[in-house]
Amino acid sequence: MTDQPFDTVSPALPQAPAASGRAARQTGIWFMGLLAAAIWLAAGAYTGLVPDIDDFGFTREFAYGLGAVGLLIALAALLVPAFGLARLRVWGPWLVALPLGFIAWQAVTAKLGLLPRPFFVPPQSLVEVYFEDWPKLGLSVVHSVKLLAWGYFIGAFTGIVLGVSIGWWRAVGYWAHPVLRFIGPLPATAWLPVAFFLFPSSWSASVFLIALATGFPVTILTWSGIASVNKDYYDIARTLGASQRFLVLKVAIPAALPHVFVGLFMGLGASFAVLVVAEMLGVKAGLGWYLQWAQGWAAYANMYAALLVMAVMCSGLVTLLFRVRDRLLAWQKELVRW
């Protein structure tokens, strides 16, 4: 055995066929993609060829859109090995389920009329809203983003400053803690009558309510983060000559950032709810106002279109906040997912 060369023994050789088989499957044609493409094309054919029970706008355009998506998926399924589109394989089940959902949606609304009108509308009615009413809907989105940004940033900044102050200085905690325990648990919408009476405009009152809903969780979680910082960090920094300002800005706040971001996420979710309520009751623009206007005129297609836009906007803002968190807290990138 000692005279046998080392390179003649290769225990990894029996695994080579399996590895090559996996590589072949990864680089072959994406058959689920072809199946998804066929279903998308079938959805487009069903939408365009089967007559509607009423004259719905943009039916033909919606059918062409479904067919175009099917052609793109078929092209991607054939070009996966050539252009490295392997990530699309993860979305295969969704690409199959979505056109099936569109077919069912078409069947119970535009084709068979199983759901009562005008409370339920086909998907092409939403497309019609986006093309015909985009100036009013787009302006509502701009107003909502502006209002949410002002309220959220004011509440987040105030919450971080107050949370750091409570966690660092006992005197601030002595006076602020009872006030937080008394006012903080109240829903921000409960302050609607007071806010609209105290502030000069409904817009400023809405900003205050959003800031109030955001500030409470940010304050509590920031305070908890400052209080949970390991005391050894402060001792080490003091032995190196760190000042009080350095301890707060360079030690306490960075160590508390995981808790701060949890508060920011909670505050963002609360701000969405207050935004809709505030716009419905006082502000004369925004997605909440648009929803109330659509409901008052029984324009349910407009209402569903606004709800879809609001869902995309809120999900996008949460995703953006997660991206910021992953950039600042790289060592906890996989700890919290969205």
For residue 86, what pLDDT is reported? 67
Query: Tell me, what DSSP letter sits at residue 129?
Result: H
Pick 1 or 226 by higher pLDDT.
Answer: 226
Degrees to nearest 5, angle at CA 109 with 107 and 114: 85
What is the distance between the alpha carbons of residues 211 and 152, in angstroms, rounded to a whole number?
5
pLDDT for residue 82: 57
Contact 211, 195 (CB under 8 A): no
CB 159 within 8 A of CB 219: yes
Percent of the chain with pLDDT over 90: 51
The pLDDT value given to residue 268: 93
Contacting residues for 148 by C-beta, under 8 A, at least 6 apart: 210, 271, 272, 275, 317
- Contact yes or no for 205/198 (Cβ under 8 A): yes
* pLDDT at residue 8 greater than cutoff 60: no
For residue range 188-212, list pLDDT tens digits in order: 888 888 888 888 888 889 999 999 9
Name which of 222, 217, 303 is nearest 258 in CA terms: 222
The reported pLDDT for the residue numbered 220 is 93
* Mean pLDDT score, 167-179: 89
Residue 220 burial (10 A CB sphere; 0-12, 13-18, 19+): buried
| Cα–Cα dist 44/47, whole Å | 5
Distance (Å, whole) CA 192 – CA 281: 9
Tens of pLDDT along 112-159? 999 998 899 999 999 999 999 999 999 999 999 999 999 999 999 999
The amino acid that residue 126 corresponds to is: L
Nearest residue to 55 (alpha-carbon basis) of 110, 131, 133, 132: 110
334 — pLDDT class (breaks 50, 70, 90): low
Mean pLDDT, to the nearest integer, of 246-271? 91
Burial of 188 per CB tally in 10 Å (0-12, 13-18, 19+): buried
Q: pLDDT over 70 for what percent of the chain?
A: 88
As given in the structure block, the two tokens for residue 337 are 């997912």
Q: What is the pLDDT of residue 301?
A: 94
Query: Looking at residue 24, what is its pLDDT?
Result: 39
| Domains in the chain, CATH or no CATH each | 25-127 (no CATH), 134-332 (1.10.3720.10)
CA distances from 55 to 4, 16, 329 (A): 84, 61, 54
Q: What is the 3-state secondary structure (H, E, C) of 156-179?
A: HHHHHHHHHHHHHCHHHHHHHHHH
Residue 5 pLDDT > 50: no
Q: What is the b/e burial string over 306-324, where b = at least 16 CB atoms within 10 angstroms of the residue's CB?
A: beebbeebbeebeeebbee
Chain position carrying tokens 């996996």: 22
Tell which wins on pLDDT, 281 or 216: 216
pTM (two decimals): 0.82
* Residue scoring higher pLDDT (283 or 260): 260
Residue 223 has pLDDT above 80, yes or no: yes
* Most confident stretch, 22-26, 126-130, 239-243, 286-290: 126-130
Residue 16: its H or E element? helix 16-27
CB 212 within 8 A of CB 191: yes
Confirm if 96 and 32 have CB atoms less than 8 A apart.
yes
Range of 184-188, 221-225, 274-278, 324-328 with top mean pLDDT: 221-225
Dist. CA 23–CA 226, nearest whole Å: 50
Which 8-state DSSP code applies to residue 81?
A: H
Q: Please give the angle made by the CA atoms of 274, 208 and 315, to the nearest 5 degrees.
A: 40
* pLDDT of residue 7 exceeding 50: no
C-alpha span between 235 and 231 (Å, rounded): 7
Average pLDDT along the chain = 86
Q: Is pLDDT of 4 > 60?
A: no
More confident residue, 29 or 190: 190
- pLDDT reported for residue 20: 41
pLDDT at 195: 87
Cα 133 to chain centroid, rounded: 24
Which positions ≥6 away from 252 have C-beta within 8 Å? 164, 167, 168, 226, 229, 234
The whole-number pLDDT of residue 265 equals 93
